[in-house]
Amino acid sequence: MKTQPSSQHPADAYQTIQVMGARHHNLKDVTVSIPKRRLTVFTGVSGSGKSSLAFGVIAAESQRLINETYSAFVQGFMPHQDRPQVDAVAGLTSAIIVDQERLGSDPRSTVSTATDALPMLRMLFARLGSPNLGSPTAFSFNQATVQASGARKVNGQKAERVTFTRQGGMCPDCEGLGRVSQLDLDQLYDKTLPMSHPDFFKVPGYTSSGWSGRLYSESGLYPADVPVQDFSDQQLADFLYKEPTKMKIAGINMTYEGLVPRLQKSLLSKGEGGYAGPCSGFCGPGGDLYSLSGLWG
């Protein structure tokens, strides 16, 4: 007798995950059976409990059960997982959680760093890669690439012209990103106005009467009643690029710093815009253009 093939899908032979009486967050005594080895989608309006069921109950309970298998010493170094508000969860196995949170703003973040796959990739390349021994500074990210040429004598013989290249690591200008962020000075202040004018500063929070503006107008490094376009080269350099310097301003001991490095630390270092132009260092041309005007309309 010929046996008829079963109409049951192989995935249906596996068990299911049983969630009984889930009351986590906005769940109201939910009981559900989720088949394994199947793609299950939770749908519903906002606030219906989709994330509470997937992350707050199933994923959290799976992580909590895994943590309980470790020793008490190891558990002390792991994040604490509270038991979700549910009567019972049966048939649960290990869960891989892909969080809904946005990745950080670090431009160096990649898929491998965000998923913790980087250590495994390092191990893969270490075992299967072919080592290539370069110069002593080839793998130093703090050492720039330099080129030079000149003449040398070998054992007192005739001088010969030589050219050498010392391969370095991260570009010191763009720090390995391929582009540099700069400030558009026309978006910072009105060079046709004196610093004491109420409309001189264009940066939000910087006013001629506030401490952010008085730091510059009362520094004594340049006249506050003369338009910036009439400043000498030294006065303009002090206003824009002077290194942090302790001085007394308006009778108070303060630290004066040029407008450009001060804004670079508060804006560009946080990835909030600026002029992202080509890297003028070892990376060559490339990059996109952005304007600070989008930050304050």
CA distances for 128 relative to 84, 102, 113, 122, 124, angstroms: 44, 33, 20, 10, 6
259 pLDDT exceeds 80?
yes
For range 21-25, the mean pLDDT: 90
112 pLDDT exceeds 60?
yes
26-30, 95-99, 168-172, 258-262: range with lowest mean pLDDT:
168-172
Give the integer Cα–Cα distance in Å for 274 and 292.
Answer: 5
How do residues 130-187 score in pLDDT, each as one tens digit?
776 655 555 455 555 667 777 777 676 766 777 766 666 666 667 667 777 777 888 8
291 pLDDT exceeds 50?
no
Domains of the chain in start order, with CATH, are 14-90 (no CATH), 138-169 (no CATH), 181-295 (1.10.8)
More confident residue, 44 or 10: 44
pLDDT of 6 reads 63
For range 28-57, the mean pLDDT: 89
Give the integer Cα–Cα distance in Å for 92 and 65.
Answer: 9
More confident residue, 76 or 192: 192
Backbone φ and ψ of 166, nearest 5°: -105, 110
The pTM for the full model equals 0.44
Give the integer Cα–Cα distance in Å for 194 and 223.
Answer: 8
14-23, 26-35, 111-120, 265-274: range with lowest mean pLDDT:
265-274
For range 269-283, the mean pLDDT: 55
1 pLDDT exceeds 60?
no
Beta-strand pair 146-152/179-182: unpaired
- pLDDT category of residue 66 using cuts at 50, 70 and 90: confident
Give the integer Cα–Cα distance in Å for 248 and 282.
Answer: 41
pLDDT of 207 reads 86
Give the integer Cα–Cα distance in Å for 190 and 198.
Answer: 11
Give the integer Cα–Cα distance in Å for 258 and 10.
Answer: 69
- pLDDT category of residue 275 using cuts at 50, 70 and 90: low
State the DSSP H helix or E strand holding residue 244, giving kind and residue range, or none if neither.
none
